Structure 1
Amino acid sequence: MVTEAAACESNELTSSSLGQTTLPDEVYQNLVPDGVPVITLDKSSLEQGGPLITDCSAPASFPALNLTWYVNDQRVPGSTSYWTTNDGEQLRKSYSRLELTGVGGSWGDIRLRCEANLFRLFRANSVEVSVKPDVPQPASVLLMESSQTGT
């Protein structure tokens, strides 16, 4: 479900001498989503020594929601990519991808969260996802004692 909220592109209101207020021509509606962003991740590349690839998809709104990534509760200054798609007459869905390279055993648990916002009208967080990179285990070595018999 989408909720409507009215907004003005400029904050300028004019008053006439008769006490009437006129709104600027640049009035539009924001369509606020009813939902939260969803994170999906691909851990398979991480297992092969590659980056941790995570995607965030946000519910449809107008205009499209802004998406912000958090890793271990620290805001990530950018994402690898961001795009939107049409979803209905005026609605736009937002997507963001974050690729973390160099993720290994020294990182410990990685907590990921995606925040979606639309000005001051809407703010929602995804469910926090925790990823524990696989720590390479030392190979097991079985030493066999050779027995030599001398003649």
Structure 2
Amino acid sequence: EIGYPLKGNCSSPLSYPAMNLTWYLNGKRVKESFKVSVSAPDAGNEKRKPVSTIIGLEHEIDASTFKTGKAVIRCAAEFFHLYQKFVECTVDEERPRPRPSSVLGTRDTSSGSQLALSFFTINTGVLLAVILR
């Protein structure tokens, strides 16, 4: 629904240095809402600690989000030019079923927004979670 947030999280496997993660929505790069690097718990006092990168996505749904009836969300992981992987999720636009109207009846406004949660994982460990509300 226009105006509602599209939220997601994407995380990378442990690496040193940290991997670069990037969000794409319908093929266009979008800025992450947050970025966190988490060190390996058993890294101790090492100078070169392996870290996992986590980025968030919070995008307000507008008319262009589902321009073709679908939104394609992609998280790309890159480690210099040595490693590149991505995970992608396609979300269909939810269209409410038309209801017969009643001249005398009242309109039901109690139906709330729906929540969809999707998890995708690939061999590299990049994880994408998308929440539509």
Contact 2:26 2:65 in 1 (8 A): no
Match of 2:15, SS state, is coil
Higher-Rg member (1/2): 1
2:33 to 58, 68, 80: 80
TM-score, structure 1 length as denominator?
Answer: 0.54
Per the alignment, residue 79 of structure 2 pairs with: 118
The total of aligned residue pairs comes to 96
Contact 1:104 1:133 in 2 (8 A): no
Is 2:46 aligned against 1:93?
no
Contact 1:104 1:134 in 2 (8 A): no
What are the equivalent positions in structure 2 for 1:24-63 lying under 5 Å apart? 50-63=4-17
Distance 2:16 2:37 in 1: 11
Per the alignment, residue 133 of structure 1 pairs with: 93
Give % identity. Answer: 30
1:125 is displaced (CA, Å) by 1.0
Greater percentage in strand: 2
Q: Deviations over 1:19-56 (max 9, x none)?
A: xxxxxxxxxxxxxxxxxxxxxxxxxxx6x962010111
1:104 is displaced (CA, Å) by 6.0
TM-score, structure 2 length as denominator?
Answer: 0.61
Unaligned runs of 5+ in 1: 1-45, 145-151
Contact 1:59 1:94 in 2 (8 A): yes
